[in-house]
């Protein structure tokens, strides 16, 4: 059963085989596999339970308030603060991501084995898990019919320059191309985990508690014995009832920010590496004006890609947002705002995302007892970002753009391809670039090299007998691609490991 705060009238006390904290890509898959194997599973989700019948009626700005943590304004602090949006709902960030699906690159899997001792996760060994996940969430290429003109004009430019590009693969069925992926799909076309893995887990007897915040973890003799928390009023955030779970195994699947935070807050002796090594795929938006009408808010926002420089850690992927989100960013007030609204239909946008090979961040418990995120953007990775901005600008001009805005303070709009060269001749401080990031990873690295990792090759925390982590925090390095399929596939693999070893784990 799935319970929201409206369904609960007293304190909740459970003694399941497995408690899972978090219901996103890692938690939902764990819940499905473990419950289908006959284990008694309870899932705790701090966010609410939202369906298309609820969020399809909300405007994007309102959807952000209910589906995102911190209204979409979680920040990684450094020389240049970086916005890091996180989902908070049953289904986690899969409800509000763009739906892009990549397998873990082969070279990344090999690197994890060589440098961190990750076992039994070679490209060949991961293949069946990728296949199962892709089938379950219906991964398919975006069709030109729903791509939208924003993606089509960028593809036109990339083709003109001979740059490798294509349609991204998404978890979707009967996409309408409405452009609302990041605000909750109003048609249930995007196959977020609350539409597949969660319902399957419920069919197998799992119990999912929405509006349920885990707060205190008790550890005795090297094993988790109890999780205590609160049932929250969804509208006010106030505590309604107590929550007490005494599981045989705890799976922490709260994401690369909140999984280490929960352990740190409870002084769980996981590893000195816990909370360190954060990677986030720094990204920027490059926009362009065209004489022709684009209407970029129609179609799949992140439907196409250019991977010509993926080997250097640079990926270009489509982006766009509805006018009520985009216009305040372009020009919030005055005559400029009116002009931006008038020209919005002629605007195109594309994202530049880099693999943060040398950069790293950290998650700690802040003085306000909330997660405090810091991030150092290495100059080497920043150079990749600038190169990505140059590539996107050149592609837009090749597609026929009249002007291109690189999104860098102190550098005006480009009026032609020759202007792009100034990106390499002028000194550009990191603080001048407007950045976001979307894929926090790495704060609880996996592997058998215990000095450099937090969990073993199957997600079990070193030296704690019944504590697993199942989210993006366990990946030792940046992926260079969108991570949801990787998170789900490793969750599938690691859940099967728990099933195969339940006799030992539950002893």
- Give the per-residue SS3 of 417-440: HHHHHHHHHCCCCHHHECCEECCC
Residues of the chain with pLDDT under 50: none
Rounded distance, CA 276 to CA 58, Å? 37
All structural domains of the chain: 2-49+89-97+102-136+192-276+440-505 (3.50.50.60), 141-182+280-437 (3.30.410)
Among 242, 238, 218, residue whose Cα is nearest residue 230: 242
What are the DSSP E strand ranges found in 337-463? 347-354, 360-365, 371-376, 403-405, 436-437
Rounded distance, CA 3 to CA 414, Å? 53
Instruction: Kindly name the residue from 187, 439, 452, 497 that is annotated as catalytic.
Output: 439
Alpha-carbon 373 to chain mean position: 16
pLDDT value for 60:
84
Q: For the CA atoms of 217, 218, 219, 220, what is the dihedral angle to 10 degrees?
A: -170
Tokens representing residue 84 in the block: 């890091």
pLDDT value for 63:
87
Bridge-based pairing of strands 207-209 and 212-220 is unpaired
pLDDT value for 201:
98
Q: For the CA atoms of 2, 231, 238, 250, what is the dihedral angle to 10 degrees?
A: -110
The pTM score is 0.96
pLDDT value for 505:
86
pLDDT value for 507:
73
Active site residue 439: yes
The answer to whether 187 touches 172, Cβ cutoff 8 Å, is no
Could you report the per-residue pLDDT of 359-399, keeping only the tens digit for each?
Answer: 999 999 999 999 999 999 999 999 999 999 999 999 999 99
């Amino acid at each position: 059963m799935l319970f929201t705060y409206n369904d609960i009238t007293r304190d909740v006390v459970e003694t399941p085989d497995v408690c899972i904290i978090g219901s996103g890509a890692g938690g939902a898959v764990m819940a499905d596999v473990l419950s289908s194997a006959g284990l008694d599973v309870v899932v705790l989700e701090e966010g609410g339970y939202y369906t298309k019948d609820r969020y399809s009626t909300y405007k994007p700005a309102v959807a952000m308030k209910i589906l995102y943590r911190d209204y979409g304004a979680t920040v990684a602090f450094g020389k240049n603060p970086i916005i890091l949006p996180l989902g908070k709902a049953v289904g986690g960030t899969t409800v509000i991501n763009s739906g892009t699906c990549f397998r873990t690159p082969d070279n990344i899997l090999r690197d994890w084995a060589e440098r961190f001792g990750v076992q039994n996760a070679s490209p060949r060994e991961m293949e069946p898990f990728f296949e199962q996940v892709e089938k379950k969430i219906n991964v398919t290429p975006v069709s030109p019919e729903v791509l939208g003109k924003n993606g089509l004009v960028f593809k036109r430019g990339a083709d003109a320059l001979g740059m490798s590009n294509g349609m991204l693969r998404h978890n979707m069925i009967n996409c309408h191309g409405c452009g609302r992926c990041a605000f909750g799909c109003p048609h249930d076309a995007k196959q977020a985990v609350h539409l597949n893995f969660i319902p399957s887990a419920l069919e197998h007897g799992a119990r999912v508690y929405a509006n349920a915040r885990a707060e205190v973890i008790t550890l005795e003799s090297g094993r988790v014995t109890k999780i205590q928390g609160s049932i929250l009023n969804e509208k006010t955030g106030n505590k309604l009832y107590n929550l007490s779970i005494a599981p045989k195994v705890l799976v922490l699947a709260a994401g690369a920010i909140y999984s280490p935070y929960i352990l740190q807050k409870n002084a769980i002796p996981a590893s000195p590496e816990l909370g360190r090594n954060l990677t986030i795929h720094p990204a920027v938006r490059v926009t362009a004006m065209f004489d022709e009408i684009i209407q970029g808010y129609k179609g799949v926002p992140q439907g196409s890609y250019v991977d010509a420089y993926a080997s250097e850690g640079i990926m270009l992927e489509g982006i766009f947002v509805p006018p009520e989100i985009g216009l305040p960013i372009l020009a919030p007030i005055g005559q400029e705002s009116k002009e931006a609204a008038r020209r919005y239909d002629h605007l195109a946008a594309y994202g530049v995302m880099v693999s943060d090979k040398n950069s790293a961040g950290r998650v700690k418990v802040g003085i306000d007892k909330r997660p405090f995120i810091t991030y150092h953007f290495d100059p080497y990775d920043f150079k990749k970002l600038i190169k990505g901005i140059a590539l996107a600008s050149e592609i837009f001009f090749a597609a026929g753009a009249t002007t291109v805005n690189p999104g860098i303070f102190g550098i005006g709009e480009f009026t032609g391809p020759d202007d792009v060269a100034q990106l390499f001749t002028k000194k550009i401080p990191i603080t001048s670039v407007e950045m976001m990031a979307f894929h926090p990873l790495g704060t609880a690295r996996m592997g058998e090299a215990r000095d450099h990792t937090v969990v073993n090759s199957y997600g079990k925390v070193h030296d704690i007998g019944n504590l697993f982590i199942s989210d993006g925090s366990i990946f030792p390095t940046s992926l260079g691609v969108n991570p949801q399929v990787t998170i789900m596939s490793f969750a599938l693999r690691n859940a099967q490991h728990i099933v195969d070893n339940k006799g030992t784990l539950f002893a």
